[in-house]
Structure 1
Amino acid sequence: MPDASARAPATPPALSTRRLALLLGGLAMFGPFSIDTIFPAFPAIGAQFGADKLAMQQTISVYLVAYAVMSLVHGPLSDAIGRRRVILAGLAVFTAASVGCALATDLPTLLFFRAIQGLSSGVGLIVGRALIRDVLHGDDAQRLMSQVSMIFGIAPAIAPIIGGWILGVSRWPAIFWFLVAFGAALLAVAWRTLPETHPPSARSPLKARRLLRDYAAIAINPRFQRLAAASAFNFAALWVYIASAPAFVMDILRLNERQFGWFFVPMISGMVLGAFASGRMAGRFDAQRQVGIGFACSAVAIAANLAYTLLVPVPTVPWAVLPMLLNAFGIGLVFPIITLAILDMYPHQRGAASSLQAFTSLVLNALIAGVLSPWLSTHALWLVASAMVFLMLGFAFWRWELHACRRMQRTTLGASPAVPEESL
């Protein structure tokens, strides 16, 4: 819980909450756009560069590794010099890196600029989370986080569809030129309208030794470890399908590069609905109950998916993708609660806490994309089995956190608990 010395949040007068949600949602979108838009182009890029599926999968993993490494810097940098500067610089670098991708003539060059994209694209999501907590708290913060999640959720649904359309009229570099235009447009809008929510009086100096000490203190906090693991494994149950999308859509479901919407639209619809429901539940349902409902929805979805996969040798749409809608809905309920709980643990280091949470999830996602996905994506049963394992791990860490909180409350003998239940 934020202490009394924490700066009281207030919405910047220059920008309404709704417009702030639209802007932050747009900023969060360019990360998923840079991953998912190129999925339909995998065969074309691989054919031009002589790269097999495993090599093409590295365009995702190298992006995520760079994203994960730089995510450790984005948050603390915004704590030191302000949110606005970091977001604007990230947008400028992302736009330039997208130009490099569009002009690449071989796979190593493409991978290099994909890494540069990864280094910059985390600013919208990571710094945006800290920005939300700068301006709002409690149920209002949950509502804004949910609104941003709804807008953010649109990107993975429409990105591969846009990529397929572009391939229908042009070659694969046009996809990266689209990302150049998207990044430039966001940069222009953010330059004109994005407020600075972290004033100089609240900033902390960016010193390597202090940064390492702060990260170490956060990383070894058992409560942070439990919450970050619960969030990361919960999302991994869906990410294993996202990372395997080219193989899942074109090899397992036997669709073409213009039919990625069959996979992404149900999945992202569920995530958007979950985020909307989370916002509506704010102040009406206690946090623990909401997270429990979220995990239950995901469990039912994966059980249905497993049953279908075992009964039907050749998966087809829509039945093979409908369970993902419910799984994504559950994740949309869980994510805002856990993220806000982590941010509220460190009212003076929200950027660092957001960065370390993102790093935890991104490292797991990079391992799934670069190591597990090429192996798992050869059969639908392996994908659903891995999703089940990830969900069980996420739920186990969440139950561990609830048990630890109750034990802490019992040991305080009626004193005010260090971890209030409503913060969960």
Structure 2
Amino acid sequence: MRKLENYHLLVMLILLVAVGQMAQTIYVPTIADMAESLSVRAGSVQRVMAAYLITYGMSQLLYGPLSDRIGRKPVIMAGMMIFMLGAVGVLLADSLTLLVVASAVQGMGTGVAGVMARTMPRDLYAGNSLRYANSLLNMGILVSPLLAPIIGSILASWFGWRACYAFLLLLCAGVAFSMYRWLPETRPQNSEPRAMFSGFRPLLADGTFSRYLVMLVGALAGIAVFEASCGVLMGGVLGLSGITVSILFILPIPAAFFGAWYAGRADKSFHMLMWHSVISCLLAGLLMWIPGWLGIMNIWTLIVPASLFFFGAGMLFPLATTGAMEPFPYLAGAAGALVGGLQNVGSGLIAWLSALLPQSGQFSLGLLMFAMAMLILLCWWPLSNRLQHQGHTV
């Protein structure tokens, strides 16, 4: 492993993001228990995740510019306090409505982690070190969605579903204390004060930033479409058991982990790695779509293309984030807000579109994943040509 300065800060950042990642999936094994406890349909509990993701994405558009103006550390502490307030709300909620509201408050709090995951590495690193740091960060982040359902299942079997949120409250309190005690302020010292949201305009007007942003939206949307369709296709159409669906659901995640590791390789150029990522996503989209045309669907026609797409997206997240963030050291907060917030909003809209399409086979899933891969390709092609002309491909 290459030596990286400020490694301990990167570990703290991984723990910060892990709080938000685990809050999305820790309760998944207990949805039936939650529905029974609150006297509602199991399907209606999905509103908990929807409320969380909406506020998680939208709040990042506020945290980023605010961190450019007043600093990273006070914004992080504020976000953690909001999350803990939401966790207490969940523990006290006696109806689905209150649970949804409390979950929305949690998402509003952990939105700060989504921004800082992209902002602070830019504060600390540049060049190949930034690419390597983003690779390690994404590898660390991908571990928490694998652990969270297991932890949630164990806690719920011992103490009930609310224990999942008690665990999140304690975890957040521990991370918040660590941040307060040991995290230095990483905002560049010579940053000039700016009006709130003023940094969005030059970023969105920059063609390179916008293309990387759209690529990131396409990658996350492709993953979100698969995750949204997975339960319906495997459980409802193929008739697999809930346990089998849960196991198959997490199988592509290690591919994303490996993709994030591959993106950090020092012996490969940024240009070459980006092409590997784009081609992987494009091939995955085709492999998911072609069986849909032929009316074929089984475990292999779903998992193999999904794993390949996850691998490509796992590479794309650190690479495209680096490409988007590196040119803007003094707008890192605003850039991180746009990258994080719009990724979640865009992928949510594509997942919503997926729900409107037929779900009797994998044709619609393949169509959307291939469309996202083509979007990625169309954004990367002009950037690739520009990098070649500038001599930045080595």
- Per mean C-alpha deviation after superposition, the further-off stretch among 213-222 and 325-334 is 213-222
Matched residue, 2:381: 399
Instruction: Please tell me the residue identity of whatever aligns with 2:111.
Output: G
1:263 matched residue in structure 2: 249
CA deviations 1:176-201 (Å, max 9, x no partner) are 222212212222322333222225x3
Q: SS in structure 1 opposite 2:94?
A: coil
Secondary structure in 1 matching 2:14: helix
Give the counterpart of 2:323 among 330, 336, 341: 341
Q: Deviations over 1:280-329 (max 9, x none)?
A: 1x3x322221111012222333433445667786634x664243222211
Q: 1:272 aligns with which of 257, 282, 286?
A: 257
* CA gap 1:242/1:184 in 2 versus in 1, 3 angstroms: farther
Q: Which residue among 202, 212, 215 is the counterpart of 2:190?
A: 202
- Cα shift readout 1:116-158 (whole Å, capped 9, x = no counterpart): 1111112223113221111111111111111111000112222
Select the residue among 116, 124, 130 that pairs with 1:141: 130
When structure 1 is superposed on structure 2, of 111-120 and 78-87 the one drifting more is 78-87
1:364 to 2:350 alignment: no
- 1:232 counterpart residue number: 217
Q: Please identify, of 171-180 and 134-143, the stretch whose mean Cα deviation from structure 2 is larger.
A: 171-180
Partner residue, 2:153: 164
1:286 correspondence with 2:281 = no
- Cα distance change, pair 255–120 in 1 and its aligned pair in 2 (3 A): same
1:38 to 27, 35, 49: 27
Give per-residue Cα distances to partners, 1:196-223, cap 9 Å, x unaligned: 2225x334435xxx33332122223333
Deviation (angstroms), 1:377:
5.5
Structure 1 segment 7-156 matched on structure 2, within 5 A = 17-49=6-38, 51-52=40-41, 55-156=44-145
Paired residues for 1:177-216 under 5 Å: 177-198=166-187, 201-205=189-193, 210-216=195-201
Pairwise CA distance, 1:356:
1.0
Please say if 1:297 is aligned against 2:286: no
Indicate conservation of the 8 Å contact 1:39/1:246, yes or no: no
Q: Are the equivalent residues in 1 in contact too, given 2:221–2:351 (CA < 8 A)?
A: no
Find the residue that maps to 2:371 and give its secondary structure: helix
The whole-number CA distance in structure 2 between the counterparts of 1:371 and 1:267 is 22
Taking a change above 3 Å as real, the CA distance of residues 422 and 99 of structure 1, as seen in their structure-2 partners, is farther
Give the CA deviation at 1:17.
3.3
Gaps of 5+ in 1: 1-10, 410-416
Task: Indicate the RMSD between aligned Cα atoms, in angstroms.
Answer: 3.0
Give the letter aligned to residue 213 of structure 2: A
1:220 corresponds to 2:205: yes
2:369 corresponding residue in structure 1: 387
Could you tell me which amino acid in structure 1 is paired with residue 86 of structure 2? A
C-alpha distance in structure 2 between counterparts of 1:259 and 1:170, whole Å: 25
1:306–1:385 contact (8 Å) kept in structure 2? yes
Unaligned runs of 5+ in 2: none
Q: CA deviation at 1:51?
A: 4.6
Please tell me whether the aligned partners of residues 231 and 245 of structure 2 are also in contact (alpha carbons under 8 angstroms). Answer: no
Opposite residue 141 of structure 1, the aligned amino acid is L
Secondary structure, in 3 states, of the residue corresponding to 1:125?
A: helix
| Alpha-carbon distance change, 101 to 243 in structure 1, aligned in 2, over 3 angstroms | farther
Given that 1:271 and 1:328 are in contact with CA atoms closer than 8 Å, whether structure 2 keeps it comes out as: yes
For the residue of structure 2 that corresponds to 1:285, the secondary structure is coil
Corresponding residue for residue 298 of structure 2: 315
> CA separation of 1:92/1:364 partners in 2, compared to 1, >3 Å: closer, same or farther?
same
SS of residue in 1 equivalent to 2:242: coil
Identity of aligned residues (%): 25
Q: CA deviation at 1:342?
A: 1.2
Displacement of 1:379 after TM fit? Answer: 4.3
User: Partners in 1 of 2:326 and 2:393 — Cα distance?
Assistant: 11
CA offsets per residue over residues 225-253 of structure 1, 9 Å max, x none? Answer: 22211111122111212344554564456
Cα displacement string for residues 306-361 of structure 1 (whole angstroms, at most 9, x for unaligned residues): 45667786634x66424322221111212222111111232211110111111221
The number of equivalent residue pairs is 391
CA distance in 1, matches of 2:256, 2:110: 21
Question: Using a 3 Å threshold, how does the CA distance of structure 1 residues 77 and 105 change in structure 2: closer, same or farther?
Answer: same
Contact 1:64–1:365 (CA under 8 A) maintained in structure 2: no
Helix, strand or coil at the partner of 2:298: coil
Report if aligned partners of 2:284, 2:370 keep a CA contact under 8 Å in 1: no
